[in-house]
């Protein structure tokens, strides 16, 4: 019987516009052996997230880009299969950042041990991981929703947006979700309890949004940008708060020049005393223990629900990722590697 090998998906070339399959390359190599103080991890689940699109470009950002011919990065759940590290033992399940590969070497830095009996392991890269924490910290720290206020969130059926809307409801605010398609809108309205769900593909989308927000918008959690932002912007109330989490509608744009709308934006930031703040979830790392405790309680009580879109096989990651950028996923997109 042949020995298992390490499968890796590397960045073969930088995208020029939308991501294509030939921007990736699948490689196989011998499974690496851990040295002193190191651990060999077998990847069980890989998280696919929109931020990875930005890492494929060689552009200035909050994090360094993935190098061409390097393994695509990403959060993972892994099992320790061999250890020369005193703190970890074979059979331990850990949260890691091992990227798009089936095995990885770690020195133990940044690993967090997981209890496989506490929650499904995939949730460690979903509702109990980075997406859930992004929603929690961004909404509560920057958005600060108050009872009776109106909170609008784009990409509302995704792992961040769905969580934002549910937390807004817990805090006593009205939750208006924007999603793509009737099925996703029905899900966030009927299963997650959003007050209103609006399909951004509808020809009268802007009119529907205005009707749903008769008293304006107090918090807008930005995940997409583009035409959705154009519809939201005129409805923002004085003192509205806008946590800027993502701009997925713009990630493939090669040229963002054109009509300069900055003067209008700056005018309204001043006129309406708007708070617009971009953020990266790691800025709020001190909140993570409270998040895990609070979110676990909401999950047990049923106040927060989640949905996962699990794809089997690491080789399917590139195509699944391309679909994610086009909104084809329904829930948190996870690759089941092993």
Is residue 292 one of the residues assigned to a domain? no
Strand segments (E) across the chain: 6-11, 24-29, 39-47, 76-83, 93-96, 103-106, 112-113, 150-153, 174-179, 196-199, 217-221, 236-244, 275-278, 308-312, 332-336
Same domain, yes or no: 90 and 228: no
Same domain, yes or no: 219 and 90: no
Residue with tokens 């049923």: 302
Cβ atoms of 155 and 199 within 8 Å: the answer is no
As given in the structure block, the two tokens for residue 4 are 């298992």
Same domain, yes or no: 139 and 206: yes
Q: Would you state the pLDDT for residue 263? A: 82
Which domain CATH number covers 39? 3.90.180.10
Is residue 289 one of the residues assigned to a domain? no
Is residue 288 one of the residues assigned to a domain? no
Same domain, yes or no: 14 and 101: yes
Give the pairing type, strands 275-278 and 308-312.
unpaired
Q: Would you state the pLDDT for residue 247? A: 80
As given in the structure block, the two tokens for residue 312 are 């089997």
Spatial distance between the Cα atoms of 335 and 58, rounded to a whole number of angstroms? 25
Same domain, yes or no: 73 and 149: no
Cβ atoms of 308 and 127 within 8 Å: the answer is no
Residue 1's pLDDT band (boundaries 50, 70, 90)?
very low
Give the pLDDT mean for 297-324.
97
Same domain, yes or no: 78 and 11: yes
- pLDDT at 2 > cutoff 80: no
Spatial distance between the Cα atoms of 231 and 226, rounded to a whole number of angstroms? 9
Is residue 208 one of the residues assigned to a domain? yes
Is residue 52 one of the residues assigned to a domain? yes
Is residue 300 one of the residues assigned to a domain? no
Residues 67-98 have pLDDT tens digits of: 999 999 999 999 999 999 999 999 999 999 99
pTM comes to: 0.91
- pLDDT at 332 > cutoff 60: yes
Q: Would you state the pLDDT for residue 59? A: 82
Same domain, yes or no: 95 and 153: no
Report the number of distinct structural domains present in the chain: 2
Spatial distance between the Cα atoms of 27 and 9, rounded to a whole number of angstroms? 6
Q: Would you state the pLDDT for residue 98? A: 97
b or e along 105-115 (b: 16 or more beta carbons within 10 Å of the residue's beta carbon)?
A: bbebeebeebe
Residues 231-269 have pLDDT tens digits of: 999 999 999 999 999 887 665 555 555 556 788 888 889
Q: What percent of the chain has pLDDT over 70?
A: 96
Average pLDDT over the chain reads 94
- Is 287 exposed, middle or buried (CB count within 10 Å of its CB: 0-12, 13-18, 19+)? middle
Spatial distance between the Cα atoms of 78 and 337, rounded to a whole number of angstroms? 10
User: Which residues form the domain of 106?
Assistant: 6-126+306-336
Which domain CATH number covers 193? 3.40.50.720
Same domain, yes or no: 71 and 180: no
Residues 177-211 have pLDDT tens digits of: 999 999 999 999 999 999 999 999 999 999 999 99
Give the pLDDT mean for 92-119.
96
Spatial distance between the Cα atoms of 171 and 165, rounded to a whole number of angstroms? 10
């Amino acid at each position: 019987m042949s020995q298992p090998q390490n499968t890796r998906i590397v960045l073969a070339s930088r995208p020029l516009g939308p991501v294509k399959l030939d921007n990736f390359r699948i490689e196989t190599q011998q499974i690496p052996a851990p040295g002193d103080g190191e651990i060999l991890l077998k990847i069980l689940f890989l998280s696919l997230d929109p931020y990875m699109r930005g890492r494929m470009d060689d552009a200035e950002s909050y994090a360094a880009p993935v190098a061409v011919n390097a393994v695509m990065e990403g959060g993972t759940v892994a099992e320790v299969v061999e250890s020369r590290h005193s703190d970890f033992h074979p059979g331990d399940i850990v949260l890691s950042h091992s990227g798009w590969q089936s095995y990885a070497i770690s020195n133990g830095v940044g690993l967090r041990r997981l209890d496989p009996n506490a929650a499904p392991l995939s949730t460690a890269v979903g509702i109990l991981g980075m997406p859930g924490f992004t929603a929690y910290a961004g909404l509560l720290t920057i958005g600060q929703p108050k009872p009776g206020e109106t909170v609008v969130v784009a990409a509302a059926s995704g792992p961040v947006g769905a969580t934002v809307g549910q937390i807004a409801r817990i805090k006593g605010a009205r939750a208006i979700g924007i999603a793509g398609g009737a099925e996703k809108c029905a899900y966030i309205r009927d299963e997650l309890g959003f007050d209103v769900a609006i399909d951004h593909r509808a020809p009268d989308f802007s009119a529907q949004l205005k009707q749903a927000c008769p008293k304006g918008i107090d918090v807008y959690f930005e995940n997409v940008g583009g035409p959705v932002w154009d519809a939201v912007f005129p409805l923002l109330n004085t003192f509205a708060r806008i946590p800027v989490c993502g701009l997925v509608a713009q990630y493939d744009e090669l040229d963002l020049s054109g009509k300069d709308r900055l003067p209008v934006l700056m005018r309204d930031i001043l006129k309406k005393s708007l708070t617009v703040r971009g953020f990266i979830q790691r800025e709020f790392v001190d909140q993570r223990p409270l998040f895990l405790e609070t979110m676990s309680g909401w999950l047990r009580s049923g106040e927060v629900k989640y949905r996962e879109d699990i794809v089997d096989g690491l080789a399917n990651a590139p195509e699944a990722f391309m679909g994610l950028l086009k909104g084809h996923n329904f829930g948190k997109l996870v690759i089941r590697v092993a």
